[in-house]
A and B are shown apart, each in its own frame.
Chain A
Amino acid sequence: MQGLALLKRHESLKSSWVLDTGSRLLSGLEVLYSGRGFMLIQATADGRVLAIDGSGKELWSFREDSKIGVVESFFYDESKVKAKGAPSIGDINGDSRQEIVFGAESGLVTALDDKGRRLWRFNSGAPVSRISLGDINSDGNMEVLFGSSGNAFYALNSLGKPVWRFMAESGIESGCCIAGKGDGIQIVFGSNDGTVYSLDRKGKLLWRFKADGKVLASPVEFIAGKNSAILVGSDDNHLYALNFDGSLMWKFDSGGSIVAEPVVADINGDGSMEIIFGSCDNNLYVISENGGELWRFETNFWITTPPVLADVNGDNSDEILLASLDNFLYVLKAEPYYELKYVPGLSSVIPLAGNYTDVPSESPGAFKGSKVLDYNAGGMIIGLKAVHKDGWHILLSLDNGKICRLDLG
């Protein structure tokens, strides 16, 4: 209850600034933390990668050249040729500074330093959507991991040189997750024919699992004791929980495609983890670690970005930030829930909904999501981040080219 009360005292979310990039945006934004603060990294449809500081000022811009023939260029989505997925950020070369790596429809994977200078680029020959970074061989440097629409999955070293390549049986648009540790590392990714692959650190196939639809969302490792699993969302409407040998633990049927990664956290403080994800049936789902639905929240359009957890009001428990293609950002809170069926003094049974815990409850211990705030961004929200720097700030990127920062005010 405290969280709800605090959020209500803050009247609304207010835009601190809005930056118009002058181009459509096709992918979300990333945040690069540096000693002085943070910067937002955003790829634009006209082929730029922009760095923007916390006050909305553009710091630098990088433009990737692409060489495609005149006739050939007509066959591609012009707006995706130069920068496709959201950039990934990490210290890939151990210099204690963060680098930015992004892929493009042209097949180029480019690494920039934090000043926007190109470090290297690698031509995979086929469109690259999502990049993942992780140290898979324990050499202290991160490898760059990505799949391409040409069916190949690559591991590059910190200098952009290929370490190994694995050929899948269809194009790859999902990112990957690195599950396990040391020699037991598994690199798990999905593909366009629905096959989920798990590779060892040397790129050898460990197992595969077949979903019924395309896998766009990056798999996520879910650590929860005996319920630990790898979570995979699919275009076939299911969220799959896979054992670490690739067998199916359970699956959850949402009513629409799942194109964004789930997040995992104990959002109601009950000591067990919840899995939170959006679906193209317009709902945000919160399910238990066994795959049972706890509650859902319906928006007015598809949810295609992962929810973000942040304690935006400082009440020591996280709120769920949810972006929907209905233009709205929602702030949700998991609140204890009951349905009161008896009111003292009245002889009849009256169903009443509420969220108080100190009264008799038909389903004691249950939680339900309540919307405590929303914000109309004025465009489809395709990127959402929350940054903690002198308080929480919410960053949105919109398909109409605008980037904005929201603060509670």
Chain B
Amino acid sequence: MGKNEQIDGKNRIKTYIKELDEQMQGGIPANHIVLICGTSGTMKSSVAFSVLFNEVMQGKTAMYLTLEQSSKSLAQHFSNMGFPLSKINLLTLDNLAQVDALVKSAKSSSRPSLIMADLGVVRKMVKSVKIGPTASWMNVISNIIRKAKQANCELVVLDSLSALYILTKFEHPRTELFYFFEFLREIGMTSFLISEMPLDKKKYGAYEIEDFLADGIIKLDLVERQRKVTREVSVVKMRGTRTTIDVFSLEFANGAFKALYGGQPPLI
């Protein structure tokens, strides 16, 4: 299958989890908002980054917006995992005053760009900025995404919703999240929102509305069997496409993810 699958006339974004894309007609319909959920250590960030990296390698521009782990640490981590970052134009956004210059650079680059927006560094830099009572970090994130769109960015990862909730004091979380999801839908980018699930795995997001608002949910899990822990992946929900809700083992080797069914590639 090509980089943009055209099944039922829909552009699709692959998860780049081998054998899983085949289970959902080639991938996630473009412009969907997808929650990537899981407890700590389930490789949520890595799965999301893998999508972005591979799509950038196909010629698209994408943005990874990190709110907790620094962009430097993430880049080091992904490089160690075997993603050849030198093959792409990796841009770091850590200064709001330079966003326009960065957008210009991404647009004029001959190589496809992946923008790593590091909100942690930005927060440290803007401590002294005088802002009014309606100023919010939610607006900062939305405005950065708007700017990324100007750089022809087609995919965005927000890592993570849990960190966003700490950063932003929601007065009316369900309403404000509704409008944030509406914003993502309107801007027309495929969005991956990473959500840290509680250890009891009883909800996909802190406010229990995220799963309803999202178009798709990919759940990652750690399962212990006789002291051996394996990773699992399942597509809990994916609007606009046929998919299985079966649970697959998730393996990562040679810079690529693979879904296995009982230790074997699943039958389609």
- When C-beta atoms are compared, the residue in chain B nearest to A69 turns out to be B129
B124 close to A (CB within 8 Å):
no
Q: Which of B100, B126, B144 has the most CB of A within 10 A?
A: B126
Find B136's partner among A75, A150, A171, A257 (CB 8 Å cutoff).
A75
Distance between A113 CB and nearest chain B CB, rounded to angstroms:
29
Determine chain A's interface SS by DSSP, over half rule: loop
A268 close to B (CB within 8 Å):
no
Band of interface residues on B: 20 to 34
Per-residue contact bits, chain B 127-154, to A (CB 8 Å; 1 contact, 0 not) = 0011111111101101110100000000
In the bound complex, what is the Cα–Cα distance between A74 and B134 (angstroms)?
A: 12
Per-residue contact bits, chain B 172-183, to A (CB 8 Å; 1 contact, 0 not) = 100100000000
In the bound complex, what is the Cα–Cα distance between A113 and B132 (angstroms)?
A: 29
Contact A150 B133 (CB under 8 A): yes
B96 close to A (CB within 8 Å):
yes
Count residues of A near B (Cβ-Cβ below 8 Å).
Answer: 22
Contact A105 B134 (CB under 8 A): yes
- When C-beta atoms are compared, the residue in chain B nearest to A214 turns out to be B171
In the bound complex, what is the Cα–Cα distance between A141 and B203 (angstroms)?
A: 58
Find B134's partner among A69, A125, A127, A257 (CB 8 Å cutoff).
A127
Contact B140 A74 (CB under 8 A): yes
Distance between B229 CB and nearest chain A CB, rounded to angstroms:
41
Given contacts A127-B133, A149-B132, contact A71 B143 (CB under 8 A): no
In the bound complex, what is the Cα–Cα distance between A105 and B133 (angstroms)?
A: 10
Given contacts A72-B130, A74-B96, contact A235 B172 (CB under 8 A): yes
- When C-beta atoms are compared, the residue in chain B nearest to A84 turns out to be B134
- When C-beta atoms are compared, the residue in chain A nearest to B95 turns out to be A71
A78 close to B (CB within 8 Å):
yes
List chain B residues, Cβ under 8 A from A214: 171
In the bound complex, what is the Cα–Cα distance between A214 and B176 (angstroms)?
A: 15
In the bound complex, what is the Cα–Cα distance between A73 and B131 (angstroms)?
A: 9
Number of residue pairs A-B, CB distance < 8 angstroms: 59
Interface residues of B in 59-113 (CB under 8 A from A): 96-97, 99-100
Contact B135 A76 (CB under 8 A): yes
Interface residues of B in 164-220 (CB under 8 A from A): 171-172, 175
In the bound complex, what is the Cα–Cα distance between A69 and B97 (angstroms)?
A: 9
Contact A126 B146 (CB under 8 A): no
Contact A71 B133 (CB under 8 A): no
Given contacts A214-B171, A235-B172, contact A73 B133 (CB under 8 A): no
A346 close to B (CB within 8 Å):
no
- Interchain residue pairs with CB less than 8 A apart (19): A69-B129, A70-B100, A72-B130, A74-B99, A74-B140, A75-B131, A75-B132, A75-B135, A76-B135, A77-B139, A78-B142, A78-B146, A126-B134, A127-B133, A127-B134, A149-B133, A171-B133, A214-B171, A235-B172
Which residues of B approach A to under 8 Å, CB–CB? 96-97, 99-100, 126, 129-137, 139-140, 142-144, 146, 171-172, 175
In the A-B complex, the 8 residue pairs with the smallest Cβ-Cβ separation, listed nearest first, are A75-B135, A149-B133, A71-B96, A74-B143, A74-B140, A75-B131, A127-B134, A74-B96
Which residues of A approach B to under 8 Å, CB–CB? 69-78, 105, 107, 125-127, 149-150, 171, 192, 214, 235, 257
